[in-house]
Structure 1
């Protein structure tokens, strides 16, 4: 499989099998009422808390689980509605094996995030051995032009809601819509409480989860209380009794 590039159309066809996918609610009732937890779980779905007024910024030395954390950022409800594409080409790490998957990264203009920094995080996450390329399955090549299998698009709550319809993302959730893995910038900026302040890990989760949809993977359930959540569990809504896990193939 070394050196082979997987056509964008092939991945798009695989993802289309499930139709519109993502972490949105399928109905207004599901959004406003409690979601029953899967069998064996002690939790129900909970709506992530919105950031408080102001722009809280932790101390530069803030760490969780021994890991430096990015600052928590308050995100505006809407941006410009237009995307800036991360420029240039970013190769997979030296020695990476597997089918080459071309993808692009976008950030909606008007958001308080740098497109280059966001692209670096996405690329590092996708090419981590614990991500979808695990064991030489595939490797990820970021490009700014030409055909791609998917686009990772950091989007304001308003644009996310619009792109993800008819799924109800409620200004809080993310989805996969067409060629785009739409990541809600509100969640990117603040994470969710049940990740225990580990915003870096939550960001890895939301990348892997939404790209997982683009690669044709559907949602999974918590396998049991206290067990590690599969990455395709809707962890932005709840852990459903599981432990947080951002990786498809955790070490």
Structure 2
């Protein structure tokens, strides 16, 4: 073999032997099993506000249908539920709320809802304007409710919004306003707060002020909660 060719062969072999090995591909780490993530917590939605018009149709409509008094002893009071046409409330839902409150064991008595015939009490959901007209000569200021001698007139504005004294517990305030105004129809008058920190009698004007009492929507709160769901 010529000397030049032998020299080139030696250089080629040396070059190949000293070349660094080709880098092996870096293995991709296998993903670790992920822990199951809890579903995102639902966002709290603000309570839906109902816009109550100052005036509606000015006409009452009797809510059709009836409901029996709760079982028990004692006199049964027949009553009718009326709703002014044009208000943003379902009459059937209002009637069911009224019946549940009146027949709670903490309430006044046993009430049978009827839609015809003689009735001792009428409970009427009314716009602020109709409340003002129905309650004269009492002054409601477009906000208060009243007993006008024939009806427990429930101001729809209060029914929708409640009062600050009840700290956002609209169900409890609704129970109060029904119990209070129907209490007038049964012959009960206003009562003062008996002392700081005590439960306000249901016939205290709690829509105006608690006068250092605690809110109370029931005539007989000591009887315990009703078995039915309610305030």
User: Which residue in the other structure is 1:91 paired with?
Assistant: 68
Residues 31-70 of structure 1 correspond to what in structure 2 (within 5 A)? 59=45
Given that residues 111 and 156 in structure 1 are in contact (C-alpha distance below 8 angstroms), is that contact kept between their aligned partners in structure 2?
Answer: yes
Residues 1-251 of structure 1 correspond to what in structure 2 (within 5 A)? 59=45, 71-93=48-70, 95-133=71-109, 139-250=110-221, 251=224
SS at match of 1:248: coil
RMSD: 1.3
- Larger RCO, structures 1/2 (Cα 8 Å, 6+ apart): 1
Given that residues 84 and 115 in structure 1 are in contact (C-alpha distance below 8 angstroms), is that contact kept between their aligned partners in structure 2?
Answer: no
- Number of matched residues? 179
SS at match of 2:101: helix
Q: Tell me, in whole angstroms, the C-alpha distance in 2 between the residues paired with 1:197 and 1:86.
A: 28
Q: Tell me, in whole angstroms, the C-alpha distance in 2 between the residues paired with 1:236 and 1:105.
A: 22
| Cα 1:98/1:72, change in 2 over 3 Å | farther
Q: Tell me, in whole angstroms, the C-alpha distance in 1 between the residues paired with 2:136 and 2:100.
A: 29
TM-score (norm 1): 0.69
SS at match of 2:209: coil
Runs of at least 5 residues in structure 2 that lack an aligned partner in the other structure: 1-43, 225-231
1:246 CA displacement: 0.2
Runs of at least 5 residues in structure 1 that lack an aligned partner in the other structure: 1-57, 63-70, 134-138
